[in-house]
Amino acid sequence: MQQIWRRKLQRAYEKPTYEEAKAELNRLKAELMLINRSAAASLEEGLEETLTVHKLGLFKQLGISLKTTNCIESVMSLVETYTGKVDYWRNSSQKHRWVATALLEVETRLRRIKGYRWLPLLRTAMRQRLDHVREAA
């Protein structure tokens, strides 16, 4: 059933607007509750975060690369190869230096995301959203 559900979820995330994608994902979550509560809970847990690009109105431009957490997970996996065997950190500063060094090492192995030219627009949209949230608080 994994392949069937993968396709269902991909179709849901391909919806062009936040409202459509969220409605479809909620429908799938209800369907999934009947067969796998753990998977439904996992879908619910990250639902809003996975729709961020939709919410910011940039799915068309950046959705191909940012609709999943794969790019982040890939980077973290590469960082793990450098930091995974360290089992003692003297302090958080040392840990931060190790992670920063690992990121510099893996940077050359990373590819540009599709739609990278739209990243300045993403930055602007995120800043506007944060400003709006701060004003409301």
Determine phi and psi for 94, rounding to 5 degrees: -65, -40
pTM assigned to the model: 0.70
Q: Find tokens 């190869």 and name the residue.
A: 81
Cα 62 to Cα 57: distance, rounded to the nearest angstrom: 10
pLDDT (tens digit, 0 to 9) for every residue of the chain, 137 residues total?
Answer: 889 999 999 999 999 999 999 999 999 999 999 999 999 999 999 899 889 999 999 999 998 888 777 888 889 999 999 888 888 888 989 999 999 999 999 999 888 888 999 999 999 999 999 999 899 98
